[in-house]
Structure formats: C-alpha cells, structure tokens
Chains A and B, each alone.
Chain A
C-alpha cells in the first residue's frame, strides 16, 4: 500500500521530467517533421539559440526570481503576523490583491524605461508576481497555527524567534510551500513574455514565431514551456507533499 503510493509519487515526478528530456532530445532533430507539416516555411526549426540553452536560461531566470519572491514574501508575511506588525496586515493584504489585478505586460511596460531591455525588467516583473502567492500563503499558514499551541508555547518559555522557528514555521510549512510552488509556476509562464523585451527565454522562439508568422517556432517554444512548467510543478509538489506529511 505505502509502496504503491511511493511508486505512484515517483512516477508523478519522473513522467514530466522524462517528457522534458525527450523534447530536448527530439526537437533539435525534428526539422524534417516540421518541414513536412509546414512546407511553406523556409526555416522550420528554431536554431538561433539551442533549446537546451533556452531552457537553462529560462530556468535560471525563474529560479532567481522565485528565490527573491520567497525571501520577500516570507519576510513580509512573518512581519505582518507579528504583534508589532499586525497593523500592517490589512495594507499588505490589499497591496497583494491589487498587485494581482495588474497585468504582467503593464509591469514590463513600466519597467523597461527604468531598467532598459533584457533580463532586468523581466526579473522585476517575475519577482513582483512571485511575491504575491508566497505572501498570501505565508500569512494564511501562520494564521492557521492553533491558538492553543501558541499559548502553550508562550507559557513554556519559548522566546519569540524560537517559537517562530520551531513551532510556527514548521506548522505553516505546507501552505508556504504551496505558495512557493504557485509562485514558480506563475514565473515559468510569465518569463516567456520577457522575450518581448529582449530577455532570452523559452519565449524567444514564441515571440519570434508570432512576429515572423512562423508557427513551427511557436509550437516548439510552447511545447518546452509546457513541459518545463509541468516538471517544476511536479518537483515542487513532491517537496510540498513531503513537508505536509511531516
């Protein structure tokens, strides 16, 4: 029973990773197929940058953005749930909600004049979007820790930071990890738009394909973004399940 569940869990992680790996192997060799499908295209295969390099660049951007988002979201979430920071809570919540209604393209449009073209404005947009789920889940997780547990911890002489580290954060870890996962997934999707302002990501073939009317490029980029999103989701999901089980 537990063995079956374990096997199931391994497959859930391994399958998307296997799909991603196969795509990275097959796509560079798939020029003839795309030519057969779309014979009117003179270049049916995206070759400006290798798919492997694009995937790595994409992943690097997402990883850096998620790390920043986690640091900021977790920090703000902790601050807003401390007795001294309670008054910030409604403001923080409102900003988080308003932030989410702001389209990523608008953030890029504002960021480019400030930061120029390339990875920097993309990173800014990713971090801004990535913070929201982490922040929301951190607050929700910390507020869900049973009041009696906190009262008992205080009564037994936990200091504030020790209580946070040893009681509150472990008990909120499941929801927080769900926020981290969501943040990373959103970033994988949003990072593609970064190519519109000059960042090198898996969005590059998509953007170029859209501009140049090359459906093959769009399909190649989209397949990889999809597989990458599923892989990131599976790996972080496995970590989350592990944490929740304790």
Chain B
C-alpha cells in the first residue's frame, strides 16, 4: 500500500478502467506484456462503474465540483527529438444534466432513526414536511432535493424557486405499504450496487463468449433476466418469447399462439419472401404476415427491439439473434451480473493483475512524449511527474477531448414494488416502452430485484435508458410519471398499485458509439477507447478491445483461457517438503495448461445443436459451488 515509484518501463500503458480498456489490459497481460493500468478516479470502471448508495452520493457531488488542472512544464524530461502532447485531465463533458430527487421521508416514521450518518445531522424538519429546493449550480447542473435538502447544500449554492409543498394530509393518506426512509437507504447503502450504465449480456453475445473463452467468467456470477415486458395502452404486459411462454400465455388467443409459433419457426431461415423486403421497413414485413397488432408489437419492440423504420433485414437479424440466445441459460436471451455491471471491467482488471499487471487508481497521465520523426509515443509523464516509457498507449476518450456529440439519457430509480408484481418478488425484467409519440425515443428499462445484489430486499432498482433528445429529465420524467408514483403525482386516487419512487436521479452520459480508435491527431501507437455506447449489449466495447489488441499485437491470441487454479499440479520432484527450488514452475504450469485443453477437447461432447458453444468452452464442468452433495 505504500506509495512508491512505479517501474519506469512498461510495454503497454493504459489510462482509464472502462470495459474496453480493461479487456485490452487483460488481453495484453495474459500474453506476457508488461501492463501499467491507471485511472485518475478513486474507483474502477470509469463510466461503467457501479456504486453503493453512499458511493453514488459522493460521485454525484464530485460531478458538481469543477476540477482545476494545474499546468506544469515538463520539458526537462524531454530528450533529443521529442515533444510533449498534453492530455486533458478532466472529463467534465461526459456527464451532464445531473438531477437528484428524493421522494421518501427523511427518517423512519415510527422509530426515531438515530442519525449516525453525517448526511442527516442537519435535518431539523419534521418527517412529514417536505422541503423542495432546487439548486441551480454554476455549471448548469441542477440537483433537486425533495425532502432532504440541507445535507447536500454547499456554500455557493443558491436555493431558487421552491415548489409548493404537498400537504401533510396527502402524504398520510398514502397506501399502507411501508416505505423505506432516506435514512434507511443510507444505512443500508452498502447493499446497493447502482450502475452508471444499463446494459445486459446477450447469452450468445460477444461478451459472454469472451468471458468463457478467457476464463474471466470465473470471477463473476449472473442472474437470468426472468421476463420480457412491454408497456402498451397504459398496461404492463409480459411478452411471450419461448415456446413454453407462448403456450402458457393467457393474453394470446389460440390463433395468435399458432401464428406466433409459425412465425418464430419460419424466420430463423432466410427465405426469398424475406429478401423481397430488403430495404423496406420491418414493420411492413410484419404487417404483411397478418400477425395482428399484439404480435406485431411484441415482435417489433420487444423481440427485435428495433424502431418502426428499421429495414427488414436488420429487423430479422435482431429477431434471430434474440431467438438464438433463448434457452442457453434460461427463458430470456439476457443475463445480468450479480453485484452489477461494474463488476465486469473489474473482472478483466483482476485477470490483468493476476498475470502481472500493475494497478494504480487516483493516478493519471499528464502528457505523452512523442518522437518527432516517427510520430510515436515513446513515454508518458504520470501525475507524479515520472517519465514512464512504453511501446503503446491506450486511453479513454475523455482524456483526448474527442468530440462526442451523441448523448444517452439515463434515469435510475429506487422503487418499493415491481412494475408487474407476480408470484415471485424476485424477477429481473427487461421492459421496452415504445415511443409515446411517433418519432420519439424508445425507452429501455431494466428492473432489478434484490437477489441481483444491487438493491436491498423490499426495493427494486430501475434503470431507464434512451437516446437523448433533451435533458435527461425532459426525456424520461414523462415515462417515470406514467409508470410510477411520486409525492408529486397528481390524482392520488388513480395510482394505487403503481410502484412508488423512493429516490431517483437523472443524467445524460456521452454515447461512445461513434468514437474512433485511431486518429484524433494522436501518435500512431496511441489508441482511444470509447465510453459506454447506447445499445443494450456489449458488442461495441468487446469489438473495440479486440481491434486495439490486434493493433498492438497482431500475431498474438486474444484472451486465451487462463489456467484453472484448481488444475495447477506441481511436479512430483518439487512435491517433497522443504524443497528449496522450483524453477520449473512456470513451464510446468503452461504445460499443464495445454494438456488441460487437449483433454478438454476430447472430453466435451459435441452435439449438433451446440456446435458453436463447444468452441468457446475451455473448461471442464467443474462444480465449485459450496455445499455440493
């Protein structure tokens, strides 16, 4: 833990611990490159991070603090023929329009919660009273605390327009469902893992394949998304997608069931009929299949997850991808990591570290040292002013001031009930909300239950995402008001049963889908990793990482399987106690590893149905759960 100097030479220096950067780090380290992986933040995973509730509150405050960058002269560290290229140290543009709303009571209503938490110590109001203060920050970000104001107030903020207070009577006439107070959210804060991005893993997508192929999967566990929902005509409906679902569905008529089965079976193969629709909207194709409104809606919005003007070939490709992913792990095509998506980059970082990668958080790169003649980056100067030479430099897009025009809109809600209560309260739901008006953005919503380890029992964590057209609050608050209840909701009589929003926050995040790996007027051995893109899956980041890896090491294997620790067998010669030498260890190790693979190929039975699966499965089916019987 001691702060000491870093070695002064690495093969690859990587700044930023987002998903693509972390995959590159693991891949390089795995094949023997000396990797230095830095992040200027105090946490892993950059804009892919997940936070405890308290961690998130800190993060929100940090977003509002403007960082000042000291410019220093590093020219003394230059050698003949070199010049400096300064990196931007701040990434202020990647998160904007951050707004926080708290709708639950400050403290528990019954018992006087002892305010052990510093955030609550200044609260003097009675719990029933609501205080609504809107703070306009100097940087145009607004933070609204309903019910919880003073805590986050820092000098320099000016409370602006106060909204009317809902009457105490109204709040008391609320349903009897006991709500968690803000104090309880803070107290239980460590049991939340709130992701900045909202994505899922397609069970046959490139991230799942990579996790399996590399054995990084050993660091993570997943939950199935248990159901696909869609919001239609003011109702939440379950989308039948597997054969079992179709048969079990109570909303579908018998003829619809037949039609849907026929369609799903037939669309897997490409036909001439389909080709005739190439270039024309998928919606037209679906219409002409005489499926009816219901099925058309399910197929377009929830299964293909495309828009009304998506071309047929694209719509069909998405539909097939969805169907192919069904049943690998469960009834829907999607997986979600236990403890949140922020785990995934960290899993790759761990792999990098295990193979010798060096990690430093709160540590940045100020500038690059570029060779004038070759236009190659020879070294970097870190935030402690140390010159560290490297053959390649990989950097997150925020540090090179790449212009990111596309933004994604996000909202995260902590609610007290599921949007569609069912037999089990432990459902993970993927919800599509088609645009309210034509041309508007489709909202994707993921509702997580407590067994995903992202929220406390009795609450749900709801992630909303869409392409931004305005500020996050403008884009998403209409959807939130439509599907949830807050203390601001009107017509209180109507909305019983809708989940209540305890706390939520809105923000826009730069969408990295258009950021190029190369160019940006950077040296040729510098590669840029984009931040999270707006799509549901992880294909963008995985592709990008593989591309960068092959630029750096054209002849190396990308993420070959790491040996299973349980299979490392030390050679008999060394097995004797007290043996002083074991030089052969590394070699034996690799040998075991190859043996293991060869054996594996024989051992894994190939079924015709599962051809592609076996190619990417280096592991034996070893059961390492606790308490096997």
Partners in one complex: no
